[in-house]
Amino acid sequence: MDKFEIHGGAPLEGGIAVSGAKNSALPALAACLLTADPVVLDRIPPVRDIHTMEKLLEHAGARVTIEGEQVTVEADAVQNAEAPYDLVKTMRASSLVLGPLVARCGRARVSVPGGCAIGARPINLHVAGLEQLGATVRQEHGYIEAEAPHGLEGAEVHFDRITVTGTEDLMMAAVLARGETVIHNAAREPEVVDLAALLTKMGARIEGAGTSVIRIQGVAKLRGARHAIIADRIETGTFLIAGAITRGDLHVTCCEPDHLRAFIAKLRSAGVEVSEPVPGTLRVRCGPKLRSVDVTTEEHPGFPTDLQAQFMALMTRAEGISIITETIFENRFMHAQELARMGANIRLEGRQAMVAGPMPLSGAQVIASDLRASASLVLAGLAAQGETVIDRVYHIDRGYDRIEAKLARVGARIRRL
């Protein structure tokens, strides 16, 4: 199993480029199942979850051609409307093929995702939404079997709580349904807007993406399209913290600052200098003193749960007590114990973490438990004195494109073992 070895203390300096967003590329690839024409997607990050989604598409019968960061999907024949357990167990976002497969084939068989390190993460809301569009859904032998042999019918859907992939799944089902679908309490994430942009290029009629009410007029057929995926806002945020925590001077390029306003505001309140020298670039430097600030994770446009672990690493270096409240997932503090092994002073109480600082971090052997927790340990390792060895970095490879190579180019002493 791969590990990272990090010698901390080097300030990061120079330019570091952001890749395409994993969480936008995943639904975009699933959307390719909605048309028989080729769809060309640019800026697809070569990360493990994307390879899993490509395997899912191939399993369904699509041809997937990868040329660098460009991926072409040709789903002229979908013979197998199934997402098997072996693929779903490695990536929960596999449930994103449920909506497109029912819309395209009139049926789908998707393995039920099991538990996850960060929370239970059920997909009951995806299923309830599809049922409201007229699908018959039953769960048997660990699989969700959905059927709509005569096609889906538009409907009013009210999500009980905001779900990102649930919103995306239902949008992809509704674009080929008869009549109008209105999704209330929809997710407003930039990835939802990006999916709507792709589907619109394919001929779908969608209004309101980016707001909490999305209206979709179903069409009979979708066509091929070409689309470039948006910048990864979570990778952007991770690099901003890397610049701040190492007291460096980093230009994070090819990013979209508007997708990260709540996060950037928190960095500034903590005393981090963030400027936008040119459109699409953020420059980050640490001010004279890092101050503790409280954060509560929220759905977009609030502070993203996917940056909570990385922000906690930064707060170990800030003066005062920071209260970090996680509201999206019930078990997303696995990094806290590992940060404590590196010298952090963190107390957990239910969904809150109290981080007292500044504490000197010292390199240690730690274990990555999930994707964003691994990123937080890398950040702590960059700031720590001495050597940090992070085990199980396959978690980080799920969502970051060669993070160690990108960080090494701006001065980090990090290598893969």
Contacts (Cβ under 8 Å, ≥6 apart) of 319: 289, 290, 291, 292, 357, 358
CB of 301 to ligand EPU, least distance (A): 12
Tell me how many residues contact ligand EPU (CB under 6 A): 24
Q: Nearer Cβ to ligand EPU, position 54 or 306?
A: 306
In order of 340, 355, 366, the CA distances from 8 in angstroms are 16, 21, 14
- Please tell me whether residue 52 binds ligand EPU under the rule CB under 6 A: no
DSSP, collapsed to helix, strand or coil, labels residue 348 as strand
CB 157 within 8 A of CB 184: yes
- Please tell me whether residue 364 binds ligand EPU under the rule CB under 6 A: no
Could you say which residues in the range 301-320 bind ligand EPU, by CB under 6 A?
Answer: 305-306
Q: What token pair was written down for 323?
A: 């209260």
Q: Name the DSSP letter for residue 207.
A: E
CB 407 within 8 A of CB 6: no
CB of 95 to ligand EPU, least distance (A): 8
DSSP string, 106-119: SEEEEEPP--BTTB
* Part of the chain binding ligand EPU (CB under 6 A), chosen from 77-85, 120-128, 202-210, 235-243: 120-128
Per-residue binding string, ligand EPU, 367-396, x by CB under 6 A, is ----xx------------------------
* Part of the chain binding ligand EPU (CB under 6 A), chosen from 113-121, 206-214, 350-358, 359-367: 113-121
In order of 115, 197, 338, 368, the CA distances from 313 in angstroms are 26, 35, 10, 14
CB of 13 to ligand EPU, least distance (A): 28
Q: Which of 14, 114, 122, 287 binds ligand EPU (CB under 6 A)?
A: 122
CB 245 within 8 A of CB 383: yes
- Please tell me whether residue 209 binds ligand EPU under the rule CB under 6 A: no
Catalytic residue among 116, 254, 255, 286: 116
CB of 276 to ligand EPU, least distance (A): 24
Q: Which contiguous run of DSSP H or E holds residue 66?
A: strand 63-67
CB of 357 to ligand EPU, least distance (A): 25
CB 129 within 8 A of CB 90: no
Contacts (Cβ under 8 Å, ≥6 apart) of 135: 102, 146, 147, 148, 152, 173
Q: Nearer Cβ to ligand EPU, position 10 or 339?
A: 339
- Please tell me whether residue 188 binds ligand EPU under the rule CB under 6 A: no
Q: Nearer Cβ to ligand EPU, position 74 or 338?
A: 338
* Whether 32 is catalytic: no
Q: For the chain, what percentages of helix, strand and coil (3-state, to nearest 5) are there?
A: 35, 30, 35
* Part of the chain binding ligand EPU (CB under 6 A), chosen from 114-122, 138-146, 196-204, 249-257: 114-122
Q: Tally the residues of the chain.
A: 417
Q: Nearer Cβ to ligand EPU, position 125 or 250?
A: 125
- Please tell me whether residue 124 binds ligand EPU under the rule CB under 6 A: yes
Contacts (Cβ under 8 Å, ≥6 apart) of 349: none
Catalytic positions are: 116
Contact positions toward ligand EPU, by CB under 6 A? Answer: 23, 26, 93, 119-126, 161, 163-166, 191, 305-306, 328-329, 371-372, 399
